[in-house]
Amino acid sequence: MTTSIQLTGVTKNFTLRYHRTFKEITVAMARGHKTSDTFRAVDDVSFTVEQGESIGLMGLNGSGKSTLLKMISGVMRPDAGEVLVRGRIAGLIATGAGFHPQLTGRENLILNAAILGMSERETMRKFDEIVEFAGLGKKLDTEVGHYSSGQKARLGFAVAIHVDSDIFLADEALAVGDRPFRRKCLEKMQEVRDGGRTLFYVSHSTGSVRKMCDRVVVLEEGRVGFDGDVKAGIKYLQYDDDLPTDEDEEMAADI
């Protein structure tokens, strides 16, 4: 097996600034208040992901999941430690990943594909497929600013899933899509997983994690609280109190 993602002692601090203007800072300093504070969003996280594994990253809100994902995707750099990946990354970080509201869906599609590293030829070849998957119809030629959040997510997901990647990252972006679309996405993601790509999936939904992933990492206040089997991970999070009724139903309800 080849290592796909390797994190060693990854740490990310954020500086919280209570005051932004010169006047506020002077007043705060004169009164002896703190003007800034550091906050550790991700704290000494280490784990390794093998090629072809599908990992569910879980944790409460604010536990550092998105920050960690941003460091894996390369948007952020860790303050300490090291993130290493093998191959090309694609994926979705939050809804409408970086769309320009004043451009049409079509223009955003092309731009987004280029940002994700697709060449002109690759984009042209897959264009129809992406458009078809997004299923936006005539809306494709209107400004993205007028799209609903679900429509943005559709377009973003459609582009990301069609990039030839070795690692696919998915944030909770799918939560805003409607049911038929979520089902379509999940099928596509299963295809990605079965095709041997590494899947890195951030979700709160036990149903879809159970279905998609073969390993769970739980973050707690920026630290790895649990790393291992899916069932045990969900138990660790105590998310399993809600009785799993019809699994498909549950999955469709909160992907």
Partner 1 sequence: MAESTAVAGDGGRPAHRDLSAVPLAPPSANNGLLAVFQRRYLLRLLVRREINARYQGSFLGFLWSYINPLAQFFVYWAVIGGILGLHDNVPNFAVHMFAGLVIVHFFTETFAAGTRSIVRNKSIVVKMPLPREMFPVATMLVSLWHTVPQMIVLTIACLLYGWTPDPVGMLAILIAVVMIMTIGTSVALVFSVANVFFRDFGNVVQVLLLFVRFGVPMIYPYTMVEDRFGELARFYLLNPLADAVLLFQRAFWVGTTEDPEYTAAHHIPDNILLIGCAAAGVGIVMLVIAQIIFSKLENKIPERL
The H or E element spanning position 187 is helix 179-194
Return the residue of 11, 28, 47, 122 that touches partner 1, per CB under 8 A: 122
> In degrees rounded to 5, what are phi and psi of residue 114?
-65, -40
> What is the C-alpha to C-alpha distance for residues 179 and 26, in angstroms, rounded to an integer?
53
In this structure, the number of other CB atoms found within 10 A of the CB of residue 30 comes to 8
Cβ 43 to partner 1 shortest distance, Å: 16
Stretch that binds partner 1, among 53-61, 71-79, 175-183, 219-227 (CB under 8 A): 71-79
Cβ 229 to partner 1 shortest distance, Å: 24
Q: How many Å separate Cα 189 from the centre of its chain?
A: 13
How many residues of this chain bind partner 1 (CB under 8 A)? Answer: 55
Stretch that binds partner 1, among 55-63, 94-102, 178-186, 215-223 (CB under 8 A): 94-102
160, two tokens: 């990301």
Question: Judged by CB under 8 A, does residue 93 bind partner 1?
Answer: yes
What type of residue sits at position 20? R
12, two tokens: 């990310």
> What is the C-alpha to C-alpha distance for residues 128 and 133, in angstroms, rounded to an integer?
8
Return the residue of 27, 29, 60, 75 that touches partner 1, per CB under 8 A: 75
Per-residue contact string for residues 198-237; x = within reach of partner 1 by CB under 8 A: x---------------------------------------
Question: Judged by CB under 8 A, does residue 88 bind partner 1?
Answer: yes
